[in-house]
Amino acid sequence: MKLESVEELEKMAKVVRRGILEQVYKAQSGHPGGSLSIADIMTVLYFNELNLDEKNPNWENRDRLVLSKGHCCPALYSCLANRGFFDVNELESFRGIESKLQGHPDMRKVPGVDMSTGSLGQGLSCAVGMAIAGQMNKKDYRVYCVLGDGEIEEGQVWEAAMSANKYKLDNLCVIVDNNNLQIDGTIEEVMSSYPIDEKFKSFGFQIINIDGHNIEEIKSAFEVAKNVKDKPVCIIAKTIKGKGVSYMENKAEWHGKAPNEEQYKIAIEELK
């Protein structure tokens, strides 16, 4: 399933967002804010950019995606289900004790998940390893890694960034979800990592700054990234935490809180 037009992708992004809300509401647990902020990026990845085969999730030549901010897996699960990796009805089991759709993605249980994540700061190291393996094995697959802007306060991120530069991983594309909020407040208040673009540039990355909710800009950024040679790419996506649900937007309190019934109904109505 590949969607080409901006209009089709925008419609799918709303479907993905509804899936996020339905999972978190049903479980009364989860992380809606950061999941909603990456919904447009994840939609473009799964329905336009990534070379995948939902009937063969472990296809050797597939593109890889590492959701380093693993707590935002409702966005990943919603994309995978709507792409056909598993039945969309399984989203209702999110965070259930017997469910394969746990609060952080498990590559052993969920078709389409390339790396188990959740311990923040570790995903880029995994993605770097995948990209190095691709180069060594002369494969043309690409590796994408989604990081949170709060997550990059972790030192391991920068060790991995140094490795990406050393090995000239032009098959690696990092996306930073820059929604400027983490669980305790703004990035500046907690531990500022600004300027993010200059930091990654100093580590040898090609930088692309975009509006992370503009489908055309997202598509264009991935096209540019594929043509960069001899260095990794970092896309800094300026986003809004809770995007698409009016009362959640730019509110740190929705980092890890489920809506009640009234709030859920409002959110679903807004996402029609």
What is the number of residues in the chain?
A: 272
How high is the pLDDT of residue 79? Answer: 98
Residue 55: band (very low, low, confident or very high) from pLDDT cuts 50, 70, 90: very high
Nearest to 31 by CA among 253, 214, 184: 253
Query: CATH says 6-270 is which class?
Result: alpha beta
Rg (CA), the chain: 17
pLDDT > 70 fraction of the chain, expressed in percent and rounded: 100
Tokens for 207?
A: 């930088």
1 confidence band (pLDDT: 50, 70, 90): confident
Identify the CA nearest to 249 among candidates 16, 20, 32.
Answer: 32
Percent helix, strand and coil across the chain, each rounded to 5? 45, 10, 40
Residues 148, 69 contacting (CB under 8 angstroms): yes
* Contact predicate 114/66, CB 8 Å: yes
Q: Are 21 and 32 in contact (CB under 8 A)?
A: yes
Contacts of residue 156, Cβ cutoff 8 Å, sequence gap at least 6: 121, 122, 124, 125
pLDDT (tens digit per residue) in 189-214: 999 999 999 999 999 999 999 999 99
Report the distance separating Cα 128 and Cα 126, nearest Å: 5
pTM above 0.95? yes
**Among positive and negative, which fits the CA dihedral 105, 144, 79, 263?**
positive
Mean pLDDT of the chain: 97
- Above 90 in pLDDT, residue 179? yes
Per-residue tokens: 52: 């995948």
Rama region for 244: left / alpha / beta (φ>0; ψ in -120 to 50; rest): left
Cα(first)–Cα(last) distance of the chain, in Å?
Answer: 22
Tokens of 256: 């890890």
Q: How far apart are CA 105 and CA 128, in angstroms?
A: 19
